Amino acid sequence: MKFGLSLIILILCISCVKDDGTVSRPQAGSTGGTGGGNTGGSSGTQEDPLALYAWHLNNTAQNSFSSYPGNSGHDINLKPVHEQLNILGRGIRIAVSDSGVDIDHPDLVNNTLANEHRNYSFNNPLYWHNTSPLPSNGDYHGTSVAGLSSATGWNGIGSRGVAPASKFSAFRYIYSPSSSETDESRLAKYLDQMTGDFDIFNYSYGYSDTIFHTEDLTAEEALLVGINNGRDGKGSLYVQSAGNGYAASYLVCLPSTDPNCVIKSAANTNAHSNLATPYKVIIAAVNAEGYSASYSTPGSGIWISAPGGEDGLIEPAMITTDIQGCNAGASYRDINQTKFNYGSHLLNPLCNYTSTFNGTSSAAPVASGVIALMLEANPDLTWRDVKHILAITADIIDYDPIFNTLSHPWGFGLSGYVYDYKWVKNAANIWFSNWYGFGRIDADEAVREAMNYDPSTLGEFEQTINQAGVWYYSSGDLIGRTISDESNFPQEEKIWVGHDYIIESVQIQITTDHPSPGDLAIHLVSPSGTESRLLNINSKLEGSALEVDTLMLSNAFYGESSEGYWTLKVYDGSASNGTGDLINWKILISGHRSQYELSLPYPVTDVTLTTPGSQSLTASPVFSFSNSLGHASLFQYQAAIGLTADDVSVKNWTNIGLENYGHQLTGLSMNLGQTYYLQVRAVSPFGFSSIQVKPFVASTL
C-alpha cells in the first residue's frame, strides 16, 4: 500500500446558497415506534421528530429540507423490522473507523462502547486504544456516520439509526497526519483498525477516486484473520463505501498555462485493490428518487447499494447527527447554510443535526445497520451467509429492458462499443449491476430471510488456490498479444478452469505494459457466457497500474458454475496514448461445491507439458500434474485427447495410474500444426472429478 497517499473522506462538498428548506410534516405515525415494547437500547417511547424526515427509513416523498422531494416508497423497507419484529440490533457491536465521533452527543451517548474507542492520531501505539475519539473542530464526518447506523431510537430527539439498539466504538482513524509519521506507522494503524471484538467494521473512507491504488498484502492477511476468527469463527463483516468518483476530475498542471490541465475521469471500484476483495461488503449509493446517486462509483466489485442521498439542497440528502453546537460541524451559523443547518429551524435549534450529509459514506452505515439487524435476528450467520442473504433479498431498481445501456459520463465512448449495461442477468438467473450490485438493500426481506435461514445453504468455502497462496489458473507469459488502439475488437485470451464450484466471487490478476491503463476496458466472460465489465473504457484514471498482477473483482457471476473456459477481453479506447501488450493474467474462483460434487474427487491442478510438442504425430507431449488433494480413496488418474476441451475422439479416457508425472499417451493419429486438447481427471469410488485441460499443437522434432 502506498501510504504516502492521503485518505479521502467520501463526502460531497456543499458550498452553495439555498432557501430555508422547510417541509410539511407527514401524517403522524408514518414512521412509528415500537409501541412501548422492549426497545433494548432506546431510552423511551417518544417519537423521534426528525425520523419523519429521514426518507431512507420511510420514504413518503418528503423533501427532507431540500427543494424537491424524493419518490415515495424508495427506502430500505425498515418499518416492519422495527414495528412488527421488534428487531433493533440488540447486542451487535459496530466499529466506526472514521474521523472520530462526538460520543457525548445526546443521540449517541447511550449507544457508545465505553473504554473501547481508539485514536490513531497519536504516533505512539500505546495511546491508540481506550483513548478519546473526539474529532477535531468541525470534522463531523464520523459523527454523521455513527448516527446513521446507531443513533438511539424513540428518545424524543433527532432521528434514529437503522439499528438503534446497536452499540458502537469510535475509531479516530481519519486525521491530518504529522510530518513525523512514517509509512510504517500508517500501515500499522491501518491494520490495527481492522482488529477487535466487533461484529461489523464500518469504513466510510477511501483513496482518491482519480488514481489506481494498490493495497499492501498484509491488509489481505488482516482481513483473513477477521473472517476466519471474528465473531467466534463466524467471521466479522467489513463494510466499505464504494467511493464518490463516478464523474471526477483532477489537475495535472497549472490551468493558467495549459487548458488541458483538467483531466475528466470516471472512477471504478477495481481501480483500488482494497475494494477488489471478496472479504468486504462494498456499498454503492442510491438517492431518494430510486436511482444511483449522481456521484456513486460503479464497479463489478459492488455487492449492494443503500441510501446515500444527494446534496440536501436541491434533492434530499441524509438526516443524521452532527457535532454539537452551532460553531462546528456541518450545521453552523453561516449565511450560506440552509435554515435547518443554520440552527434557526425549530427541530434543530442547537445545530446538533444535519440535513446535508451524503455520499457512499452514508450508504455504508445504512448497510451496516441492516447487517446488525440481521445478526440480532440470527447470530449464527457467517460472513458469507450475510452476504448471500443481502444478495438474494435485494430490490432490483432502475431497470428498463429497452433503455438498459449506459454511456460514458464524459462522452469518451468508442464507436460500436457499449460502455455498460445497467443490469445483466447471469446464467444462474441472478441480476447484477455495476451501479447497484445485486440491488438496493431491503431490511425487512433480509431480516426475515435471516430468521429462517438454512445454515447448510452454502457449503464449505473453497478457492482455486494452493496452500502456499499460489493461484492454480494462469495464462503464463503471453507473447505478442498487442491490444489494438481505439478498436472494438479486443485482445482475447482464455483460461480453462477445471474446478466446478458454485461461484461466490471471481478475482483476476492482470499484467499489461500499456503506458496509459486509463484508456483500457477489461471484460471477463464466464463459461456460461455472462460478460462482466471489470474496468470501463477510457476511465482516464491516473497511475501506472496493471503493470504487475493488478487485482480486480467481479460479483456478476454469483451462483454460476466455474468449470470451463474463461475469456478475458482487453480493449484500448484511445489511439493518442500509446499501445501495449497483454502480458499475462490469472483467475481465482471463490465459492462452494454443489451437493452432487461434494462426494466427487477434486480435480488435479497445474497440468504442465515437459516437452513443447509431441515427439511424433502418434504421441502426446510428456505431461505432469499436481495431485487431487484431499481424496485418499482415488482409484487412479485418467487422460484423454480431443479436438476441443470436451472431445475425446483422438484418444478416449485412458487409465494412467496414480503417478502424477512423466505420462505420455501413444497410438495417436494427429495432423501436423493442429491444436489438440489434453484432458486429465481423477477417479474415485464416487465418480470422476472435473477435468483439467491443456492445449498443445501437434509437431515433430
Of 196-200, 393-397, 479-483, 648-652, minimum mean pLDDT range = 479-483
Q: Tell me the torsion sign for CA atoms 533, 428, 308, 100.
A: negative
- How do residues 241-275 score in pLDDT, each as one tens digit? 999 999 887 776 766 667 677 888 999 999 999 99
Strands 531-535 and 692-697, how do they pair? Answer: unpaired
pLDDT of residue 700: 77
pLDDT of residue 256: 64
- How do residues 543-580 score in pLDDT, each as one tens digit? 776 888 999 999 999 999 999 999 999 999 998 888 99
Rg for the chain, CA atoms, rounded: 27
pLDDT of residue 255: 64
pTM: 0.91
pLDDT of residue 11: 40
d(CA 241, CA 435): 13
Query: Residues 6 or more apart from 416 whose CB is under 8 A from it?
Result: 488
| Number of other residues whose CB lies within 10 A of the CB of residue 628 | 23
Average pLDDT over residues 222-248: 96
First to last CA, the chain: 48
Average pLDDT over residues 210-227: 90
d(CA 306, CA 311): 16
| Number of other residues whose CB lies within 10 A of the CB of residue 475 | 18
d(CA 97, CA 421): 34
Helix (H) or strand (E) holding 676: strand 675-684
474: cell is: 494462469
648: cell is: 475425446
Of 2-11, 135-144, 479-488, 542-551, minimum mean pLDDT range = 2-11
Q: Tell me the torsion sign for CA atoms 150, 57, 50, 148.
A: positive
d(CA 582, CA 550): 12
pLDDT of residue 556: 98
Of 2-6, 537-541, 653-657, 682-686, minimum mean pLDDT range = 2-6
pLDDT over 90, % of the chain: 78
Residue with cell 489438440: 676
d(CA 453, CA 450): 5
Closest CA to 30 of 88, 86, 78, 67: 78
d(CA 420, CA 531): 11
pLDDT band at 503 (very low <50, low <70, confident <90, very high): very high
φ/ψ bin of 470: left (φ > 0), alpha (ψ from -120 to 50), beta (otherwise): beta
531: cell is: 460478460
Amino acid at 526: S
pLDDT of residue 19: 32
37 pLDDT more than 60:
no
Name the phi and psi angles at 520, rounded to 5: -90, 150
d(CA 557, CA 187): 33
Query: Is residue 450 a contact partner of residue 389, using CB atoms and an 8 Å limit?
Result: yes
d(CA 449, CA 599): 29
Residue with cell 464526518: 141
- How do residues 349-390 score in pLDDT, each as one tens digit? 999 999 999 999 999 999 999 999 999 999 999 999 999 999
Amino acid at 192: D
Average pLDDT over residues 14-30: 30
Strands 281-286 and 237-241, how do they pair? Answer: parallel
d(CA 626, CA 607): 7
Average pLDDT over residues 573-594: 94
Q: Which domains does the chain have, with CATH numbers?
A: 7-398 (3.40.50.200), 472-597 (2.60.120.260), 601-697 (2.60.40.10)
| Number of other residues whose CB lies within 10 A of the CB of residue 454 | 7
Residue with cell 410539511: 24
pLDDT of residue 35: 31
d(CA 25, CA 28): 8
d(CA 226, CA 419): 37
φ/ψ bin of 618: left (φ > 0), alpha (ψ from -120 to 50), beta (otherwise): alpha
pLDDT of residue 44: 63
- How do residues 453-465 score in pLDDT, each as one tens digit? 999 999 999 999 9
- How do residues 592-651 score in pLDDT, each as one tens digit? 998 888 889 999 998 999 876 556 899 999 999 999 987 668 999 999 999 999 899 999
pLDDT over 70, % of the chain: 91
- How do residues 284-312 score in pLDDT, each as one tens digit? 999 999 999 999 999 999 999 999 999 99
Of 217-221, 376-380, 437-441, 541-545, minimum mean pLDDT range = 541-545
Query: Is residue 21 a contact partner of residue 340, using CB atoms and an 8 Å limit?
Result: yes
280: cell is: 468486504
Closest CA to 555 of 445, 456, 424, 443: 424
d(CA 272, CA 212): 6
187 pLDDT more than 80:
yes
Strands 431-432 and 424-425, how do they pair? Answer: antiparallel
Q: Could you give the 3-state DSSP secondary structure of residue 406?
A: strand
Mean pLDDT of the chain: 90
pLDDT of residue 599: 87
pLDDT of residue 545: 67
CA dihedral 643, 648, 652, 653 (to 10 degrees): 120
Query: Residues 6 or more apart from 100 whose CB is under 8 A from it?
Result: 119, 133, 134, 135, 136, 139, 142, 143, 170, 171, 172, 174, 175
d(CA 510, CA 545): 10
Strands 281-286 and 304-307, how do they pair? Answer: parallel
586 pLDDT more than 80:
yes
Q: Could you give the 3-state DSSP secondary structure of residue 635?
A: coil
Query: Is residue 123 a contact partner of residue 181, using CB atoms and an 8 Å limit?
Result: yes
40 pLDDT more than 70:
no
Amino acid at 71: N
15 pLDDT more than 50:
no
d(CA 579, CA 483): 7
Rounded to 5°, angle at Cα 294 from 288 and 299: 110
d(CA 545, CA 271): 8
d(CA 677, CA 692): 10
Closest CA to 283 of 176, 161, 368: 368
pLDDT of residue 24: 28
Q: Could you give the 3-state DSSP secondary structure of residue 128?
A: coil
